[in-house]
Amino acid sequence: MLFSELGLRASILDAVQELGYQEPTPIQSEAIPRILEGRDVIGSAQTGTGKTAAFALPILSKLGAHGPGPRCLVLEPTRELAVQTHENFVKYAKFTQLRTGLIYGGVGYGKQRDDLKAGMDVIIATPGRLLDHMGEGAIDLSGVKFLVLDEADRMLDMGFLPDVRRIILKCAKERQTSLFSATIPPAIETLITWAMKDPVTVEIGARRSVAETVKHVLYPVAELQKQPLLLALLDQVHWESAIVFCRTRRDADSVEALLCRNRHKAAVIHSDRSQKEREEALNGFKAGRYEVLVATDIAARGLDIADVSHVINYNVPEHPEDYVHRIGRTGRAQATGDALTLFAAGEAPQVAAIERFIGKKVERVKLPGFNYTYTALFDEAKLGPLSERKTKGVRIGKGYFFGPARRR
Ligand code: ADP
Ligand code: MG
């Protein structure tokens, strides 16, 4: 299948060609014709499969010439996703007169107000800041004929559904709505019934599967040895760039501090960091200034970071969907990746949930030569209440430093 066979406008095809996309991905070849036809589309495919272009290309194609008010609205759950989607729209619209504006929190209102005044055809927004502008009367959505709810599952997890509903109510009733998500949990189905008209579902691959190019394993370890094991893994596994996911902002900060103390070039990204700091971390990681990006899941979900050789889960993800999402970051574009999850006994229920979700058992492995303290996980038959020996402040192997957590 070729892009030129999909029915897209020539100016859009030129941009696609300039970007060097050889052929549409499966979600693109399925969704683009449906959206061009005017259908409401529910698109579900794994992270990294090109969902952005699957809606951006046909919508830009249908928008045609520049007009007075916003006619397309794309809602994104996080600032980074909004920024990334905006970048994509700008590239895809390069040979058109269409303008794309970006509305998100954590930065000043001035430029966003000016953009809105100047007239944008497409608005990419996070819900909170968009509602602020709406409250000020700075934006009128009544001309929005194309609505996209991107990364809908994450929108739901972050509690944005009420905001999203309020926004949808202000869009044109006669509109085309698309919803894209890596997974479609039941609460999203309710939103679909409410917000969409006779939608077609385009589902690529099993929703629950982990990409076949990814090797993912569990490292059972005593909770108190997670930091030493992380350092030992980074020392012994051959990796080029890694994302380390942590459950809490506190863990993320302390892991980043640990890595920096041990001479890794690491940066952290989570919702307590300012927008500027987050951008610096993300851009620095993409540019190779940092080799490890430590992130909370909320801050990082769906971000398009190419060429991550390793994903390390410092905690077992609480939601099985997140496990699949995170692992989707490695092994992208067919490169073989690796995903490692540190697994303490207290996390056994989450591991069981993941294995039920993906329908198979994840291999348990031990790092050779690591000085493990006992954990009942080594003998899973005995899983249950544990007594873990304390290993605070130890030096292991090559003299890793586990001093008190300090900010850089
Ligand atoms: P998703 O939203 O499914 O996680 P993205 O839309 O962020 O994925 O796309 C992931 C990456 O793939 C982006 O860098 C994008 O530029 C690239 N990409 C998208 N479509 C194609 C294509 N047809 N050929 C090559 N690369 C593509
Ligand atoms: Mg996406």
Give 336 Cα–ligand 1 centroid separation in angstroms.
17
Ligand 1 neighbours (beta carbon < 6 A): 21, 24-25, 28, 47-53, 302, 304, 306
Nearest-CA residue for ligand 1 atom 5 is: 50
pLDDT tens digits for range 7-18: 999 999 999 999
Q: What is the set of domains in the chain, with CATH numbers?
A: 3-204 (3.40.50.300), 214-401 (3.40.50.300)
User: Please, which pLDDT band fits residue 306 given cuts at 50, 70 and 90?
Assistant: low
| 336-356: pLDDT as tens digits | 458 899 999 999 999 998 998
* Tens-place pLDDT, residues 69-109: 999 999 999 999 999 999 999 999 999 999 999 999 989 99
Mutate to test the pocket of ligand 1, among 3, 18, 25 (most ligand atoms within 8 A of CB): 25
Best residue for ligand 1 mutational test, from 52, 324, 326, 329 (most atoms within 8 Å of Cβ): 52
| pTM, entire model | 0.64
Q: Which residues of 232-258 are buried (b: 16+ CB within 10 A; e: fewer)?
A: bbbeeeebebbbbbbbebebbbbbbbb
Ligand positioned closest to the Cα atom of 20 = 1
Q: What is the pLDDT of residues 246-302, one digit of tens each?
A: 989 999 999 999 999 999 999 999 888 888 898 899 899 988 899 999 998 766 665
Greatest pairwise CA separation for the chain in angstroms: 68
Distance 63 CA to ligand 1 centre (A): 21
Name all contacts of 390-395 with Cβ < 8 Å and 24+ positions apart: 390/224, 391/222, 391/224, 391/225, 391/228, 392/224, 394/228
Q: Considering only CA atoms, which residue is closest to atom 1 of ligand 1?
A: 48
Digit-coded pLDDT (tens) for 17-64: 999 998 999 899 999 999 999 999 999 887 778 999 999 999 999 999
Q: Are 270 and 249 in contact (CB under 8 A)?
A: yes
Atom 15, ligand 1: residue with shortest CA distance: 50
Ligand 1 atom with least separation from CA of 45: 3
Cα dihedral value 307, 92, 101, 149, nearest 10: -70
Using the mean position of ligand 1's atoms as its centre, give its distance from the Cα of residue 51 in Å: 7
